Structure 1
Amino acid sequence: MINTPYKDLEKHDNQLHPSLLFLVFICIFIGVLIIGNAIGAGLIVLVYGTKTLTALATLDTSSPQIINALWILQTLGTTFPIFAAPVFFAFVVVRDPADYLKANFRFPWGLLFIGIFIMLLSNPVIEVLSNINQKLQLPHFLSGVQKWMEDSEKSAAQITETMLQMNTIGSLIFNVLFIGLIPAIVEEFMFRGVLQTIFLKWTKNAHVAIWITAILFSAFHMEFFGFLPRLLLGLLFGYFVVWTGSIWPAVWAHFLNNGLDVVLTYLSQHKLIKIDPNETHVFNAVAYITSAIILFILMLIYRRLALEKKQITEG
């Protein structure tokens, strides 16, 4: 069993059952999401005109302002709601930001160093999961769903490719911040902060809470053929938070994952490396097995150090 840092689950608990808290949060998030997208679309029309909004809707990358429009909609329609909903919920609805955001720094800072190795060594495991995911096929009677998933995946890839066009060091730094760091912070506040806490209070089981949250985290990204790799990442982030009682080790690991993709994409675009960031056959079977074993050992070390620190703090 995990020695969860959430020992006093009833402390500061809201009177509402966690299932109702979950529904309340979902309603808040949907409301903010609708408002954010409406403001984003309105701003695009105001600044660039309806043609740019139409080009955005049809993913017409030839439009001269498409990248700016994508960033406006990404910021106001996605990033802002993912940040605003959990913060509003934690401060206004349950009035317990310490428990639902976990923005404390009471964890061994050496774990951030171990986190670097964990994220680097998880790449072969992520690759093999990605390859398995790519081969999964739905039954024939769900061929329409399969086609929709494939089309959605292509659209997401096209949007990502457009936003990751980096011609200068300045654009690299911008993307590291706005694709690497900021999404890591806001997504962890929402998933490992609010949602994982709700499911922990609901199920009273850290493993179940982590798995449910990781599944929702992966599904939320709507990239169906990357579901298993993102599920693994969600599990890693979830255990980091449970073991440390802080959101920041998960934010750090999340940022490392996102930021590394951005940097590798920049280096590849400028022919500074020969590795294709989208290549899914970089490693072999030996690397897969070795990576999985070392990753498991590092996670055990991470858990031990985190819980020892927690026991000392509580003692």
Structure 2
Amino acid sequence: MIQEPIEQYKAQPTQTHPSIQIIILVAGTIFALIVFGLLAAGIIWAIYGTQTVTDVMSFNTANKNTLSGLWILQIVSTTLPLFVVPVLFARFIVHDTPKYLKTNFQFPSILLLLVFAIMLFSSPVMEVLTNINQKLTLPDSLKAVEDAMRAMEQQAQKATTVMLTMNSVGSMLWAVFVVGLLTAIAEEFLFRGCLQTIFIKWTKNTHAAIWITAILFSTFHMEFFSFLPRVALGVFFGYFVAWSGSVWTGVWAHFLNNGSAVVITYLYQHKSISLNPDDQHVFNYSSYAFSLIIILILLYIYRNIALRKPMFNY
């Protein structure tokens, strides 16, 4: 009896459990941060010498090479690993780059305009969250932890102040490129690309995944006294990506947030505007309420357009 030829069986890749994926992604990120951190120190040492490495770590601006060293440290020890890890993870660990990084541009372009409007109107909400956050204190038994967190945040602020002391338009554009664009791409690939996707698979609940990822996103920055507004930003970015199916809506929002902060800082330093970017008492209660209402309306419109749903049901 002649048998029909058997079709060649193609083995399907076995997908690891989301909990294992989390462990691999987190361990890979920590490892990469350590390795690239050592690489950054080595590059600074090779170019400027041992003293500059010490001055960079202590933010000693008396050394003219400290600023360059800080930028090398930022790009090599933070931006690069946060970009490389999710790309390698999506390509070689889960073997599904499109689903995990979501680098497609298949979304209505009007969503970018809506993201811009949401980020613009979110300023009062971010201010009130910052003010609430600043008043939070840990129990007396954890005072040592609180003091340590304040010291860490002051160190981070010192580094930011040094790097964002911009003497020219060129230095401002460089800061917008690195702090705004490169950081946005790297962090969105990691958090809204890989991490949020893993949590969606694990929890089977998009909302839970977005909030968990936003909390981890804020925790990663290790700045307790700006924790709440950063969680809110992470939630915005998360919904932008989840509803549009593209990481670039999150990147755009992240870029707007970081880039605008750089530009406002530059304009204030050169006395082109009187608004101090560190002032957290610009708006009033009516502004807070108006901001929240407008944001919710814009998010509703964004969601319906992104999911191709009718605005209203009659």
Could you report, residue by residue, the CA deviation over 1:88-135 in whole angstroms, capped at 9, with x for unpaired residues? 001111110000100001111001011111001000000000000000
How has the CA–CA distance of structure 1 residues 120 and 72 changed in structure 2, closer, same or farther, with 3 Å as cutoff?
same
Give, in angstroms, the shift of residue 62 of structure 1. Answer: 1.9
Give, in angstroms, the shift of residue 280 of structure 1. Answer: 0.2
Looking at structure 2, the residues matched to 34 and 248 of structure 1 have their Cα atoms a distance apart, in angstroms, of 28
Summarize the alignment of residues 1-315 of structure 1 with structure 2, pairs less than 5 Å apart.
Answer: 14-308=14-308
Letter in 2 for 1:106: Q
Looking at structure 2, the residues matched to 164 and 56 of structure 1 have their Cα atoms a distance apart, in angstroms, of 15
Give, in angstroms, the shift of residue 309 of structure 1. Answer: 7.2
Could you report, residue by residue, the CA deviation over 1:200-237 in whole angstroms, capped at 9, with x for unpaired residues? 10110001100110001011111111000000000000
Could you report, residue by residue, the CA deviation over 1:268-303 in whole angstroms, capped at 9, with x for unpaired residues? 000000000111000000000110111111101100
Percent identity, aligned pairs only, is 53
Looking at structure 1, the residues matched to 58 and 171 of structure 2 have their Cα atoms a distance apart, in angstroms, of 25
Looking at structure 2, the residues matched to 148 and 59 of structure 1 have their Cα atoms a distance apart, in angstroms, of 18
Looking at structure 2, the residues matched to 59 and 143 of structure 1 have their Cα atoms a distance apart, in angstroms, of 26
Conserved? CA contact 1:40–1:72, under 8 Å:
yes
Give, in angstroms, the shift of residue 27 of structure 1. Answer: 1.6
Looking at structure 1, the residues matched to 241 and 15 of structure 2 have their Cα atoms a distance apart, in angstroms, of 24
So what's the TM-score if we normalise by structure 2? 0.93
Structure showing greater Rg:
2
Alignment correspondent of 1:313: none
Q: Secondary structure at the match of 2:282?
A: coil
Ranges in structure 1 where 5+ consecutive residues have no aligned partner: 1-11, 311-315
Letter in 2 for 1:196: Q
Could you report, residue by residue, the CA deviation over 1:167-191 in whole angstroms, capped at 9, with x for unpaired residues? 1111111111111111011100000
Q: RMSD of the TM alignment (CA)?
A: 1.3
Looking at structure 1, the residues matched to 107 and 184 of structure 2 have their Cα atoms a distance apart, in angstroms, of 19
Conserved? CA contact 1:164–1:175, under 8 Å:
yes
Ranges in structure 2 where 5+ consecutive residues have no aligned partner: 1-11
Conserved? CA contact 2:90–2:96, under 8 Å:
yes
Looking at structure 2, the residues matched to 89 and 184 of structure 1 have their Cα atoms a distance apart, in angstroms, of 18
Give, in angstroms, the shift of residue 15 of structure 1. Answer: 2.5
So what's the TM-score if we normalise by structure 1? 0.93
Conserved? CA contact 1:107–1:309, under 8 Å:
no
Give, in angstroms, the shift of residue 61 of structure 1. Answer: 2.4
Give, in angstroms, the shift of residue 153 of structure 1. Answer: 1.1
